[in-house]
Amino acid sequence: MQQTMLCSGRFASGCQPRSVHSRRAAPKLRSPLVVRAHVEPAEEEPSTSYSPAARRAHQLLSKPRAPIGAEYGEGFMQFRMGGEPRRLDVAALNEQLKAGGALRHRFILKPDEAYGTVFDFDAIVADTAAAYRRAWQRVAGQRGLPLPPHARLSMHNTAPERIIMDVLGWTRSMKEARAIAFELAETYSAELQRLGEAEPGPPGPDGVPTAPRLGPGEPRAGVRDWLASLQTFGVPVALVSALDRPTVRRALERMHLHDHFSVLVTAEDELESVAQRYLSAALQLNRPPNMCAVFAGTPDAITAAHNCTMKAVAVAGLSPEYPAYKLRSADVTVARLSDLTVYNLRRLFACAGDEFMDLRKQRSDDKPGNRRRVASAMM
């Protein structure tokens, strides 16, 4: 019921209120609609007691594998003093780093010094894949978790948390999987610190340990002899690795190979692809990329070397994931580096300029005067 004043404007003072029925009911008050976004609770870090080396190892294991790079001959981006960018592709590096002057005459007298060699630390010099496998075995043994003996963990190319949850099926909790992943990174960093160490030999009949045997980080068979041969003939050597520089230097000192490499390209250089690592090594060696040879053990490294116009020497039998038939795209495939000689390195570049898609100079039988007249007629 609502009261309404019915009156005219002329007799407004004498109007009386009269109650009438309202046709519409009063609107009801509704509660305001509040929309809230559903926010997942942030996962806590598994622990803050892990060392910086373990965190670096976890970052290395979690990031995807580096791309091959230089599919179309791309190289680096160079910024000059004026600010204008300039692209340095593979062809430009081959032209700018070409030997000339006195250096060219020196290479005529000593042709072996004209070449550059690039070694892959992770696959050729040290067995980091075995250290990765031992880290998984130690974590599984400490936690009492099953680890199949033929599980190919390094081929999944994914974060260790996903391997723990989806491949091995150790847990369904992401928080627990991350804790196991950090424990794996701690163990893996400890295994990397042990690269090059010598293990004590088995005890003798009198209980005294015998001569120490080679540790798990001892260089591959034939690496030491091949590096000594290259050093004898003055061939510059570079080392490429995805690990950090202190870890690589420490491993080389324990292997007594630190004086064989004049250039180190490591994770501190922050290069995006495998091809950029090889091109950076060629730049620091002051050798054109087409005069460098890469010693690798994976198909990606061979493809990256060919994209950089480098020669690729593959070492077969280093990993069960890459048998010899997967390395057939290399220029030379050997069973061990001790089978090589410096003369084999020289023969790699003996056919330079005569291979497929190489630029060639075409000889003309016309006289110089005829060539000038033809050029004038064309103009």
The amino acid at residue 363 is R
- Please tell me whether the overall predicted TM-score, pTM, comes out greater than 0.85 for this model: no
Q: Mean pLDDT over residues 214-234, rounded? A: 81
Q: State mean pLDDT over 97-102.
A: 87
Backbone angles phi, psi at 3, to 5 degrees: -90, 135
Q: 């309404």: which residue's tokens?
A: 4
pLDDT of residue 280: 92
How far apart are alpha carbons 60 and 113 in whole angstroms?
35
Q: 29-42 pLDDT, tens per residue?
A: 555 554 454 444 44
Average pLDDT, the chain: 77
**Residue-wise pLDDT tens digits, 186-223:** 888 888 877 766 555 455 555 554 444 445 457 888 89
CA dist 19 → 3, 5, 6, 326 (Å): 4, 8, 10, 98
Q: How many CA atoms lie within 13 A of 201 on its CB side?
A: 10
Residue 3 pLDDT class (50, 70, 90 cuts): very low
β-pair partners for 79: 85
Q: What is the pLDDT of residue 25?
A: 56
pLDDT of residue 242 exceeding 60, the answer is yes
CATH number for the domain whose boundaries are 88-126+215-348? 3.40.50.1000
